[in-house]
């Protein structure tokens, strides 16, 4: 029989079906359902796990039935649904039943307005307890923050600070990280268990307010026996502890007892920082107030975070140890004293930092001149310090050849190219094969007789010049290519005429990174009445507050002249009688300087041989100069570019022993070339003038 034309059944409450559907929904639903009247009072509740649950809530306002974390916000949200009819879906609300003790729960709530023919009847709320899911999500987010934010810097203290920032307030209300004191200085951590006599230093701590607590930050302590802290580093296992006024072990640890009382902490997790059986430190995590006590899953998270942090701390420790070694090597390779300088006062400053390749030097040259050197090899670690030492050694060797500054840098660059080629030839698996070398250098020579400084740059900042009145005269030096670069441009020099008492400041690029900082350094140096060391310190004091040079060097030099009474200069005739005349002039001058007879006789013989060579092989004009300072310098100038060579004469030879005699009588000797010819020079130690 056909059903066509039969009436369609109406599933309404009047047929009893709607009522039955609601009864079944409220009695069997796995979702908590709440019906609220327009005054937000509870009129019906479903909870299949507790039949008496609904009776506790009926007739009560929603904010009276539940202990809500933000009751006013919840009331406003419900009222908005009543007023607008726009549903509220999947909103997370924290709270608990008003009369049931226990921690707050997290609920996912959706709210809909109930209507009948345009009349608002109330609200239907679907509630799902997602507490455990939210805890798991929160733990995962916290662990992700630890993995992302901890270990970015190769510094133990910074790593510990990153950890407490990641954990508070996501996982703890207060966190303290203690590290074995020797580990902070780069030493190997002790293999566990940790003895009671090993000190731990508080490296970082943070509370709920987001700021570090400074009361005992940086303090060291030895862990009291019979406490969770001592047990954790003894058997390398974590501890989860409930805290209250009667906790028995607090009597053995007054410091922890004070923290618990002052903060109101009620739950503690202690986790050892361990790596490959070695103990690095300890993490203490506290919860207080309304925060939930730690559970077993929280211990798992703490262990995972501690493993990540321990590895980061160990990496930082290894880097710190390498840095300490590199810094030690760097300082051993640098000048250990200012040394004796003629007509020039110097002072230096070395700012510590990760860069271990900056260096400075002052090298005495012939003719009372001084070479001023500042350089920097970019990078950090032992290999950077070694490269710096290699370049500094080459500079010393080249300075002894009396070359012009641009030629010194050109030959230094040749050495740099060879070093770069050696590094590139290393096996691909060698870490150095992938680390390119970059370096800069400045080489200048100060001549006290002309009061001039000739400077050449290899990718280095220009020097700062301060006149005796504090002004800064303009000076531009042509910039040459940096060392180890592919730029083959030639090096050039610039010569600066200086007044007596002027100050030359040579700094590495880390000290002069921009125009603003350079201006600050210049202002700090514009006090020529101060000592050079005071000026060095003033540069540091005047750096911007946010400036942290990653290793920098500063060399200061104050120019002077040699007193006229300590210099004698003669123009000599170019004939065969000149050596005898020169001996007479030298004896008279040395007698006037009251030098001993042995020095006078040796100098007479030296000058006689030098002048004889100049007359025989050189070209006029001919000049003789004596300089008396800490040593006695003899110089014979002529205009010929040809230099004599020392040779060992045979027994039957009648000549050829002149320069050999000079080399035996003088402490050092050599030949210096200039635009007007050459100069043969000697230096002799003078008794009583060291």
3-class secondary-structure state, position 475: coil
Lowest-confidence region among 218-222, 398-402, 416-420, 584-588: 218-222
Quickly state the pLDDT bin for 29 (edges 50, 70, 90). Answer: low
In the chain, where are the structural domains located? 16-129, 134-323, 337-559, 564-685
- For residue 9, the model assigns a pLDDT of 45
Mean pLDDT, the chain, rounded, equals: 84
pLDDT of residue 26 exceeding 70: no
**Residue 160 and residue 177: Cα distance in Å, rounded?**
6
Rounded average pLDDT over 216-232: 87
Task: Read off the pLDDT of residues 632-665 as tens digits, 9 standing for 90 and up.
Answer: 999 999 988 876 655 554 443 444 467 778 888 8
Rounded average pLDDT over 24-42: 75
pLDDT of residue 65 exceeding 80: no
pLDDT of residue 328 exceeding 90: no
Assign residue 616 a region (left: φ > 0; alpha: ψ between -120 and 50; beta: otherwise).
alpha
Quickly state the pLDDT bin for 101 (edges 50, 70, 90). Answer: low
- For residue 652, the model assigns a pLDDT of 38
Rounded average pLDDT over 243-269: 86
- For residue 102, the model assigns a pLDDT of 64
**Contact yes or no for 580/607 (Cβ under 8 A):** no
- For residue 167, the model assigns a pLDDT of 93
Quickly state the pLDDT bin for 674 (edges 50, 70, 90). Answer: confident
pLDDT of residue 441 exceeding 60: yes
Q: In CATH, what number does 564-685 get?
A: 3.30.565.10
**Residue 260 and residue 429: Cα distance in Å, rounded?**
53
User: What is the sign of the dihedral through the CA atoms of 163, 169, 170 and 176?
Assistant: positive
**Contact yes or no for 374/455 (Cβ under 8 A):** no
Top pLDDT among 247 and 240 is at 240
How many other CB atoms are found less than 10 A from the CB of residue 621? 14
Which CATH fold topology does 337-559 show? Phosphatase 2c; domain 1 (3.60.40)
Which CATH fold topology does 16-129 show? Beta-Lactamase (3.30.450)
**Residue 690 and residue 677: Cα distance in Å, rounded?**
32
- For residue 54, the model assigns a pLDDT of 57
**Residue 507 and residue 442: Cα distance in Å, rounded?**
9
Top pLDDT among 120 and 626 is at 626
- For residue 298, the model assigns a pLDDT of 93
**Residue 458 and residue 443: Cα distance in Å, rounded?**
9
Determine the Cα angle at 314 with ends 313 and 320, to 5°. 85
Rounded average pLDDT over 669-682: 86
Task: Read off the pLDDT of residues 172-210 as tens digits, 9 standing for 90 and up.
Answer: 999 999 999 888 877 788 876 787 788 899 999 998 875
**Contact yes or no for 405/489 (Cβ under 8 A):** no
Q: Is 245 exposed, middle or buried (0-12, 13-18, 19+ CB in 10 A)?
A: exposed
pLDDT of residue 338 exceeding 60: yes
Phi, psi of 429 (to 5 degrees): -75, -15
Quickly state the pLDDT bin for 218 (edges 50, 70, 90). Answer: confident
Quickly state the pLDDT bin for 97 (edges 50, 70, 90). Answer: low
Tokens of 489: 């441009």
Half-sphere exposure of 462 (CA within 13 A, CB side): 19
C-alpha 158: how far from its chain's center? 11
Assess whether the previous peptide bond of 105 is cis (omega < 30° from 0).
no
Can you spell out the DSSP letters for 532-584? HHHHHHHHHHTS-TT---SSEEEEEEEE----GGGEEEEEE-SSTTHHHHHHH
Assign residue 90 a region (left: φ > 0; alpha: ψ between -120 and 50; beta: otherwise).
left
**Contact yes or no for 286/272 (Cβ under 8 A):** no
Q: In CATH, what number does 134-323 get?
A: 3.30.450.40
Top pLDDT among 30 and 82 is at 82
Determine the Cα angle at 318 with ends 312 and 320, to 5°. 100
Rounded average pLDDT over 229-243: 91
Task: Read off the pLDDT of residues 363-401 as tens digits, 9 standing for 90 and up.
Answer: 989 888 999 999 999 888 888 888 999 999 999 999 988
- For residue 204, the model assigns a pLDDT of 92
Highest mean pLDDT among 31-40, 105-114, 299-308, 676-685: 299-308
pLDDT of residue 52 exceeding 90: no
Lowest-confidence region among 311-315, 319-323, 584-588: 319-323
* Alpha-carbon separation of residue 86 from 90, 92, 308 (angstroms): 13, 17, 46
**Contact yes or no for 346/557 (Cβ under 8 A):** yes
Examine domains 134-323 and 564-685 and report if their fold is the same: no
The CA-to-CA distance between both ends of the chain, in Å, stands at: 134
Rounded average pLDDT over 403-419: 93
Can you point out the beta strands (E) in 301-385?
A: 344-351, 358-364, 370-377
The neighbouring-strand residues paired with 371 are 363, 445
Please name the residues in contact with 171: beta carbons below 8 A apart, sequence gap of 6 or more: 138, 139, 142, 285, 298, 301, 302
Half-sphere exposure of 395 (CA within 13 A, CB side): 30
Top pLDDT among 687 and 580 is at 580
Quickly state the pLDDT bin for 616 (edges 50, 70, 90). Answer: confident
Quickly state the pLDDT bin for 603 (edges 50, 70, 90). Answer: very high
Minimal CA–CA distance to 282: which of 215, 211, 212, 224? 224
**Residue 690 and residue 669: Cα distance in Å, rounded?**
18
- For residue 1, the model assigns a pLDDT of 41
As a whole-number percent, the residues of the chain with pLDDT over 70 amount to 88
Tokens of 440: 């800069």
Lowest-confidence region among 16-30, 55-69, 334-348, 429-443: 16-30
Please name the residues in contact with 258: beta carbons below 8 A apart, sequence gap of 6 or more: none
Please name the residues in contact with 554: beta carbons below 8 A apart, sequence gap of 6 or more: 348, 349, 350, 351, 360, 505, 506, 507, 508, 511, 536, 539
């Amino acid at each position: 029989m056909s059903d066509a034309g039969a009436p369609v059944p109406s599933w309404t409450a009047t047929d009893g079906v709607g009522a039955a559907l609601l009864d079944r929904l409220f009695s069997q639903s796995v979702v908590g359902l709440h019906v609220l009247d327009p005054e937000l009072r509870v009129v019906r509740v479903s909870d299949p796990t507790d039949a008496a649950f609904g009776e506790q809530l009926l007739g009560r306002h929603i904010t009276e039935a539940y202990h809500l974390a933000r009751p006013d916000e919840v009331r406003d949200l419900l009222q908005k649904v009543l007023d607008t009819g726009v549903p509220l879906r999947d909103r997370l609300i924290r709270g608990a039943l008003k009369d049931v003790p226990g921690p707050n729960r997290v609920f996912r709530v959706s709210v809909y307005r109930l209507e009948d023919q345009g009349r608002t009847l109330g609200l239907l709320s679907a509630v799902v307890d997602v507490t455990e899911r939210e805890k798991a999500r929160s733990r995962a987010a916290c662990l992700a923050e630890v993995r992302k934010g901890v270990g970015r810097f190769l510094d133990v203290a910074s790593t510990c600070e990153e950890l407490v920032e990641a954990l508070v307030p996501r996982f703890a209300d207060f966190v303290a990280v203690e590290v074995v004191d020797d580990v902070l200085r780069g030493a190997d951590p002790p293999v566990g268990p940790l003895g009671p006599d090993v000190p731990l230093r508080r490296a970082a701590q943070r509370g709920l307010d987001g700021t570090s607590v400074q009361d005992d930050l940086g303090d060291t302590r030895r862990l009291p026996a019979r406490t969770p802290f001592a047990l954790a580093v003894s058997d390398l296992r974590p501890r989860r502890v409930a805290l209250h006024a009667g906790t028995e072990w607090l009597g053995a640890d007054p410091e922890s007892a004070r923290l618990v009382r002052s903060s109101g902490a009620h739950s503690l997790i202690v986790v050892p920082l361990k790596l490959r059986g070695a103990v690095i430190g300890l993490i203490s995590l506290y919860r207080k107030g309304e925060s939930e006590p730690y559970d077993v899953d929280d211990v798992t998270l703490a262990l995972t975070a501690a493993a990540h942090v321990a590895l980061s701390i160990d990496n930082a420790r290894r880097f710190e140890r390498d840095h300490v070694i590199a810094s030690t090597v760097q300082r051993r390779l640098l000048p250990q004293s200012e040394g004796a300088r003629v007509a020039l006062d110097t002072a230096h400053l070395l700012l510590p930092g990760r860069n271990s390749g900056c260096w400075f030097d002052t090298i005495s040259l012939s003719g009372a001149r001084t070479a001023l050197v500042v350089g920097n090899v970019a990078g950090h670690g032992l290999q950077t310090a070694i490269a710096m030492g290699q370049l500094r050694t080459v500079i010393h060797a080249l300075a002894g050849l009396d070359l012009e500054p641009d030629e010194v840098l050109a030959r230094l660059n040749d050495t740099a190219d060879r070093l770069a080629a050696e590094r590139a030839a290393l096996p691909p698996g060698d870490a150095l094969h992938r680390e390119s070398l970059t370096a800069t250098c400045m080489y200048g020579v100060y001549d006290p007789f002309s009061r001039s400084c000739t400077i050449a740059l290899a990718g280095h900042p220009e020097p700062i010049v301060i006149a005796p009145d504090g002004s800064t005269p303009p000076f531009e030096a042509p910039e040459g290519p940096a060392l180890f670069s592919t730029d083959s441009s030639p090096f050039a020099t610039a010569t600066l005429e200086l007044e007596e008492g002027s100050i030359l400041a040579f700094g590495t690029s880390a000290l002069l990174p921009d125009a603003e900082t350079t201006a600050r350094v210049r202002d700090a140096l514009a006090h020529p009445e101060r000592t050079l060391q005071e000026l060095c310190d003033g540069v540091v004091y005047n750096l911007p507050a946010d400036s942290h040079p990653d290793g920098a060097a500063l060399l200061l030099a104050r120019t002077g002249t040699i007193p006229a009474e300590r210099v004698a200069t003669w123009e000599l005739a170019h004939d065969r009688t000149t050596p005898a005349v020169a001996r007479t002039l030298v004896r008279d001058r040395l007698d006037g300087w009251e030098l001993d007879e042995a020095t006078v006789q040796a100098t007479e013989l030296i000058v006689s041989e030098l002048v004889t060579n100049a007359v025989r092989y050189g070209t006029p004009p001919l000049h003789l100069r004596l300089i008396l300072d800490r040593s006695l310098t003899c110089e014979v100038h002529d205009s010929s570019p040809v230099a004599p060579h020392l040779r060992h004469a045979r027994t039957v030879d009648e000549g050829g022993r002149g320069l050999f005699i000079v080399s035996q009588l003088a402490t050092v000797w050599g030949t210096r070339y200039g635009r007007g010819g050459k100069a043969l020079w000697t230096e002799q130690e003078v008794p009583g003038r060291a």
